[in-house]
Structure 1
Amino acid sequence: MNYITDKLIKIKDKGLYRELRYIDTAQSPRVKIEGKDFILLGSNNYLGLCDDFRLKKAAIDAINKYGVGSGGSRLTTGSYDLHKQLEEKIASFKGTEASLVFNTGYMANVGIISALCDASWVIFSDKLNHASIIDGYRLSGAKLIRYKHCDMNDLLNKINKYKGSNNLIVTDGVFSMDGDIAPLPDIVKIAKKFNMMTMVDDAHATGILGKNGSGTASYFGLDNEIDIIMGTLSKAVASEGGYVAGKKDLINYLINSARSFIYSTALCPSTIAVSIKALEIIEKDEERRVKLLKTSNWFQNQLKVAGFNVMETQTPIIPILIGEVDKAVEFSKILLSQGVYVPAIRPPSVPRGTSRLRISLMATHSKEDLEEALVKIKEIGKELKIIGGLL
């Protein structure tokens, strides 16, 4: 136990110690955390559907029909007709032949990459890709080459230097900590030139970008151009689970080869029912998506005018770059004491020297919520000398 205690001391000394906070209400613009009221600016509930009455009814109806547990893995007793409906819905939503649902987005990435790739593969991965992509590569035994963030010249240079007989280019569609969008048209062009497979993690784009919210490929008009589209059902979709969409042969192969799928008890029927209903709503509710993006653009501009560095974000993910770990943590703590919840993001979630506040907006935030939060963010920013005194 001394080893563990020493490790914890080192984590605390570096300012990287994290604690859990317990929310007492639904994920809404205003929440209670441990009995106190807060404006919530840190949720991935982008479309504000987590407390939607239609989704709650779908869950209740599914519980009344199917009970509460799935009873087994998908390949034993855990597959329900609802799973089939959801996978057909996702395939239609993404414009692919088929899809497969995993228990989480993390398990989807780990399962896809470790099942597809082995030591004969070279994986070219954006430097800021999600940790689950890195862990998938580690399990696969493939050679990983990380290219500079969204830098196509660096990608080309590394392909020319390291490409093998089997190659995969993998990128986030929307980057979870920076909020910017991958240059998919360039990636597809490069992949075609070198006969490489492409994979996009669309976790933070699903429901937000593209026609009917179908994601990054649609946003760029690249339908049917991406070999493997992965995403989550736990963010804009307001449910749980991950998915992969692509050719039918790919899906059948993963059913038989992805260990994180094969050896996991299936998601419960109520969760699957919520995902189906949420996708139905997302496809039809353009107004909600437009409002979210319009509000996000306004909020970003307000922060820029005040002097904050919000990087190159183009989405509801709005980073305020601080740099130092201690100052980012202090900023977040002061905001918390004033009733605004914004998490401080530190290494290893982001590179050293780029600690930040990660703001994420919901379509259901009111102008009043955001104006109140902005006043406090600006005041604290001046107190901590992150921005100048005159606004």
Structure 2
Amino acid sequence: MAFDWLAPHLQQKQQDGYLRQRVCVEYEKDGIICVGGRHYLNFASNDYLGMRQHEGLLQCWVEGLAQFGGGSGASALVTGFSQTHQALEAYLAEQLNREAVLLFNSGFAANQAICQALFPGSGLSSGSGLSSGSGLLLADKYMHASFIDGAMACSGQLKRYRHNDLDHLARLFAAGTNTDTLVATEGIFSMDGDAAPLPELVTLCKQHQSWLMVDDAHGFGVLGEKGLGSAEHYRLSQQDVPVLMGTFGKAIGTGGAFIAGSHDLIDYLANTAREYIYTTAMPPAQALATLFSLQHIATSEQRSTLQHNITMFKQQAAKQGLILSSSDSAIQPLLVGCPKAALQMSEGLKARGVWVPAIRYPTVPKGTDRLRITLSAQHTKQDIHALCDALALARDELSYGQ
């Protein structure tokens, strides 16, 4: 019987504590979600600034829908590229001090495009004058799956350096003979919440005449004077970071992503990136709402509120004896080490009205299963105290049961 291995595969995942299941959120407002008729404090969202339900952003959505309709109607290279898309790209390019910007429907698509366009296979590059299979991708071990999948499917040689280990990266440089080398890192790492040593990476990449690519999905909107992310925070130029990717579905509160870089890079991607050419463009209303969000974040106090909440949480967690990582971002992982124990702690939190998911392999390496706590500017002092109390009780219950 075809595919008769599906059911046993799922059963094994269930036994090992790795089976994933979706939950249906029935309601969400002001950091509260309703699941199965019960309400929970939500410490699982990447909406770090609470922008998803901002009144001004929603009004822009409505205005965009009235003017442009529900969708874009075509790919960007046909008739799907509107004046709102153009305005958003121009704003990002100006604010980030980049020559050009290209919009994508998701960060996953943008990362795939970077890998497969810059390192095309022989079939795609035939007759184009492009070299095939001669490139090298050096990716941080904790680089997001979207980039790793793209890198594994392209013609370049993929090597992964130990997380934030500059010495290991330097050794990989020394062992390589490739002319086209792309080093890839995240600005803020999605599961650990720690930051990449970007200034040092810039120096190392320049020494080896390679390009640095930064996936800033979790830094964009939060870091920097105007919330423009890691590049603004460290004042990194286009020459420092030739390939900059950011997403709008987290701190910005909408959806989609962008790649920023030189005119040549962006024009090349628009002409070769299949993830851009062969998909319907994001709705114009979404682009309009995204532009509003970026402009609002630049002058609002939400980022200061978020940073205050991060500090408060870390202080309160320390008082409860909770051992956290060294993250200073909104992502605060609590390592458990066992998938079933992580699930048990997550259920213990739910019983107390707090929603924190268990993150397990393969999202994180085996033995590093965890609770991934994400903080928001929407959270109150009372919310954070309730979280820490619930975490301490769930931890104690787990200890008693062992």
Range of TM-score over shorter length: over 0.9
What is the Cα deviation at residue 53 of structure 1?
0.6
1:239 aligns with 2:254: yes
TM-score, structure 2 normalization: 0.93
Work out whether 1:191 is the aligned partner of 2:192. Answer: no
Contact residue 27 and residue 45 of structure 1 kept, 8 A: no
1:41 has 2:55 as partner: no
The correspondence for 1:202, drawn from 196, 204, 216, is 216
| Ranges of 4+ aligned residues in structure 1 off by more than 3 Å | none
Q: Secondary structure of the residue that 1:39 maps to in structure 2?
A: strand
Q: Decide whether the 8 Å contact of 2:216 with 2:230 is kept in 1.
A: yes
1:163 Cα shift? 4.3
SS class of match (1:284)? coil
Match of 2:279 in 1: 264
- Deviation readout 1:24-74 (Å, 9 max, x if unpaired): 223631121232110000000000111101011000001111111211111
Deviations 1:358-386 (A, max 9, x none): 01011111111111121111111112129
Whether the 8 Å contact between 1:212 and 1:284 is mirrored in structure 2 is: yes
* Aligned pairs, number: 386
Tell me the equivalent position of 1:152.
166
> Partner residue of 1:351?
365
Cα offsets for 1:220-245 (capped at 9, x unmatched): 22233210000101000000101101
What is the root-mean-square deviation of aligned Cα atoms in Å? 1.4
How far apart are 1:210 and its partner, in Å?
A: 1.3
Correspondence for 2:33:
31
Residue 80 of structure 2 corresponds to 78
Give the structure 1 partner of residue 126 of structure 2.
none
Separation in 1 of the partners of 2:224 and 2:29?
Answer: 25
Aligned match for 2:377, one of 350, 363, 372: 363
Letter in 1 for 2:350: L
Q: In 2, distance between residues paired with 1:107 and 1:207?
A: 20
- Is this contact kept in 2: 1:308–1:321, CA < 8 A? no
Equivalent pair of 1:27/1:43 in contact (CA under 8 Å): no
Is 2:333 aligned against 1:319? yes
User: Structure 1 residue 10: deviation in Å?
Assistant: 1.6
Alignment of 1:285-324 (within 5 A): 285=300, 287-324=301-338
Using the TM superposition, give the Cα deviation of residue 184 of structure 1 relative to its aligned residue in structure 2, in angstroms: 0.4
CA contact (8 A) 1:288 1:363 kept: yes
Q: Distance in 2 between matches of 1:217 and 1:243?
A: 14
List per-residue Cα deviations over 1:58-103 (Å, max 9, x = no partner).
0000111111121111111211111101111221232211101100
What TM-score do you get using the length of structure 1 for normalisation? 0.96
CA distance in 2, matches of 1:133, 1:94: 22
**CA–CA separation in structure 2 for the residues paired with 1:163 and 1:316:** 39
Structure 2 gap ranges (5+): 121-132
1:69 equivalent to 2:83? Answer: no
The residue type equivalent to 1:123 in the other structure is L
State the SS of the aligned residue for 2:61.
helix
Determine the structure 1 residue equivalent to 2:129: none
Contact 2:320 2:389 in 1 (8 A): no
Contact 1:26-1:51 at 8 Å conserved across structures:
no
Q: Distance in 2 between matches of 1:304 and 1:114?
A: 45
Specify the code of the residue in structure 2 equivalent to 1:228.
Answer: V
Q: In the alignment, does 2:122 pair up with 1:120?
A: no
The one-letter amino acid of 2:107's match is G
User: Within 1, Cα distance between the matches of 2:319 and 2:169?
Assistant: 34
Query: Aligned-pair distance for 1:171?
Result: 0.2
Structure 1 residues 141, 18: closer, same or farther in 2, change over 3 A? same
Per the TM alignment, residue 351 of structure 1 is displaced from its structure 2 partner at its CA by: 0.5
Runs (5+) with no aligned partner, structure 1: 387-391
Given residue 5 of structure 2, which amino acid in structure 1 is its aligned partner?
Answer: Y
1:186-242 per-residue CA deviation (whole Å, 9 max, x = no partner) reads 100000101001100000000111121111122222233210000101000000101
User: Is the Cα–Cα contact under 8 Å of residues 316 and 385 in structure 2 kept in the other structure?
Assistant: no
Partners in 1 of 2:232 and 2:61 — Cα distance?
29
1:312 Cα shift?
A: 1.7
> In structure 2, which of residues 238, 246, 269 is the aligned counterpart of residue 254 of structure 1?
269
The equivalent of 1:54 in structure 2 is 56
Q: Which amino acid aligns with 1:378?
A: A
Task: Give the whole-Å Cα distance in 2 for the aligned partners of 1:166 and 1:268.
Answer: 35
Q: SS state of the match for residue 176, structure 1? A: coil
Q: Contact 1:75/1:262 (CA < 8 Å) preserved in 2?
A: yes
Distance 2:141 2:375 in 1: 25
1:213 aligns with 2:208: no
**Greater mean alpha carbon deviation, residues 180-189 or residues 268-277:** 268-277
Structure 1 residues 227 and 90 mapped into 2: Cα distance closer, same or farther (>3 Å)?
A: same
Q: CA deviation at 1:305?
A: 3.5
Q: How far apart are the structure 2 equivalents of 1:303 and 1:322?
A: 15
| Identical-pair percentage | 35
2:102 match:
100
